[in-house]
Amino acid sequence: MNTNALIKLNRLEKVFLAEKVETRALHEVTLDVLPGEYVCVTGPSGCGKSTLLSILGLLDKPTSGQYILNGHDVSDLSRDDRARIRNQEIGFVFQSFNLISELTVEENVCLPLTYRKGLTARDIKARAKMMLDKVEMGHRLGHFPGQLSGGQQQRVAIARSLINDPSVILADEPTGNLDSRNADIVLRLLGQLHAEGSTIVMVTHDPRGIERVSRQIEMLDGEVLLDSAMRIEKAG
């Protein structure tokens, strides 16, 4: 495993138990993600990619194995500790945007920093405006999600994912609910963030997204079937 990796997974397992029936969603997943990489995870429905992203995002924890994030073992933390680290280290972009309809664009973007110590309301709003300007949505501060197109909502969601200066951005089918034009806008934006140094792990079926990344991990039946980084390393 690479000692400089931002994310290190070692023999990660995830088993779900329902009505005394075990379902193995992940099986001995071992991989590293380096700072600044743009990785996509692909594979058929039910292959484990969404489960993997949930564990990477500390929304769930593995049944066994090790997950090290930014030098810290986060494999078996309490729910509160996972929430704290998630807020500090991870930015999320979801297929369904996950914006709160009763809050304005500005309020949605401010949410991850609401309980951050040492920041005033003015500091948080200034940072929200900066992130919204970055995704060309600064002119929509006072609008509500229902007043925006799907592509605009996803750009707001990306601004929200950036406000806490995360170590990694996790994107779950970010173009899944968008038409072709807005999908291209979102993918160009993610590519720009990567060019500026962001580490991105994206689950996607979109071939336009796959062709833009620096590394592809293909999963099947809970295992890593192919990893382009491994192929490049072996070829070198």
> Tens digit of pLDDT for each residue in 100-154?
999 999 999 999 998 788 889 999 999 999 999 999 999 999 999 999 999 999 9
β-strand pairing of 7-18 with 21-33: antiparallel
pLDDT greater than 50 at residue 97: yes
For the domain covering 36-60+75-235, report its CATH number.
Answer: 3.40.50.300
pLDDT of amino acid 230:
58
Residue type, position 223, single letter: E
Q: How wide is the angle at C-alpha 153 spanned by C-alphas 159 and 173, nearest 5°?
A: 85
Query: In the chain, where are the structural domains located?
Result: 36-60+75-235
pLDDT greater than 80 at residue 236: no
Residue 157 burial by CB count (10 A; 0-12/13-18/19+): exposed, middle or buried?
A: buried
CA distances from 74 to 7, 62, 202 (A): 10, 10, 20
- Please give the share of the chain, as a percent, with pLDDT higher than 90: 87
pLDDT of amino acid 3:
67
Range 31-57 burial, b when 16+ CB lie within 10 A, else e:
bbbeeebbbbbbbeeebbbbbbbbbbb
